[in-house]
Amino acid sequence: MLDIKFIRENKDLIKAAAQKKHIQFDPDDLIAVDEKRRELLASVEAKRAEQNEASEKIGAAKNDNERLAFIEAVRSVKKSLQEEEGLLKDVMKAWQTLMVAVPNIPDMSVPEGDSDKDNQELKTWGEKPKFSFNCRSHIDLMKDLDLADFERGAKVAGFRGYILKNDAVLLDFAIKQFVLNHFAGKGFTPMIVPSLVKKAPFIGTGYLPQGEEDLYKTQDGDYLSGTAEVPTMAYYMDEVVDVKNLPIKLSTFSPCFRREAGSHGKDTKGLIRVHEFSKFEQVILCEADHEISVKLHEEITANAEEIVQALGLHYRVVVNCGADLGLGQVKKYDIETWVPSENAYRETHSTSYFHDFQSRRLNIRYRDHDGKLKFTHSLNSTIIALPRIIVPIIENNQNEDGSINIPAVLVPYMGGKTKIEKAI
């Protein structure tokens, strides 16, 4: 959420941001409602003062006639006040609805584009594997090695359901343990955060109201989170953090759930796009300084790259175009890892910064060195998402006989096993 004063003074900038992000929003609508809000606020405050003044006069009345006149005046003001308070309540609701729909301003370096196809490649790492045989998909490899059961997964959980088995279970836990150990010396506080989260953190992080169709909702009105970012950002909601502790760096884990509402027909098989998964996330709160945000954005991107490099996977980093940014993101990088069976890169990590967009909505503040209250800036990045990362691991490390070489960094967490192969 942006400051209303900033919006009023920079409506052309907001219009340009909405256009670049391909978001339907007209700040003129908000400004018109804001004018009504300001007008009603001033009138309500004036009538409250008038009511208080008339009430004081009742007690100081010199006689009954004077007292009755003051009572009648209070009654009249009270009736008018109640009517305007009702109008103000409706206007405030409309104002708040429009306020949470205002897109954040993308950085000038964000490229124009109509979809993720317009994201621009910044760098690559490693080499594409060369096979002397026809490489197979992770689905076929995992079925042959009895690592997954997609049919029974669908029977148990429905569409996009899956069940990991045998060495795939060990591989999943090996990746998690490797990530925990890798981040241990980076100054991040590890946390396990809830998946079941109240509505306010989703509004605060920008996932509501626009993204509601992709969320699972409970009967109590809570939601299942699709990323550890949401509950992690809410950890400091409505708090004033100590500037001495900034930047606050958290590495958090949670199970995640997404409806994948906008992906009908895409990745309907396998482990790329599933409803239930788990995720490690980097989340940072820092001072309200653009240069600090940019520096930390590069840092968390490098942290994510380290994980993919350690796994020995070829990847590229792209900068997301305007249409591929969310409502609150100022800038975003995707790490896309090579998937041989598709002869394509697939997104496995995203890193973003938001300036004070999220912290303003979540009311996360700090006092600067001059004692002035400010909203923090926020950033987040995928550390690893499972089981998606298993796809490139298996496909890039396949052998002609159908066995899978285990990346060296995971061998210690696999009991020393260096290869996954069929049981004899």
Which residues are part of the catalytic machinery?
Answer: 258, 273, 347, 350, 388
- Closest among 259, 207, 242 to 228, alpha carbons compared: 207
Residue carrying structure tokens 């309200």: 288
List Cβ<8 Å contacts ≥24 apart for 18-27: 18/103, 20/106, 20/110, 20/112, 20/322, 20/323, 21/103, 21/106, 21/322, 21/323, 21/325, 21/327, 22/114, 22/322, 22/323, 23/103, 23/327, 25/101, 25/102, 25/103, 27/102
DSSP string, 188-233: PEEEE--SEE-HHHHHHHT-TTTTGGGSEE-TTS-EE-SSTHHHHH
DSSP string, 244-279: GGPSEEEEEEEEEE---TT-TTSS-SSSSS-SEEEE
Return phi, psi of residue 307, to 5°: -65, -50
Residue carrying structure tokens 């600067």: 368
Going from the C-alpha of 138 to that of each of 43, 143, 325, 341, 398, the distances in angstroms are 66, 8, 29, 8, 9
User: What count of residues does the chain have?
Assistant: 424
Burial code of 143-162, b = ≥16 C-beta within 10 A, e = fewer?
eebebbbbeebeeeeeebbb
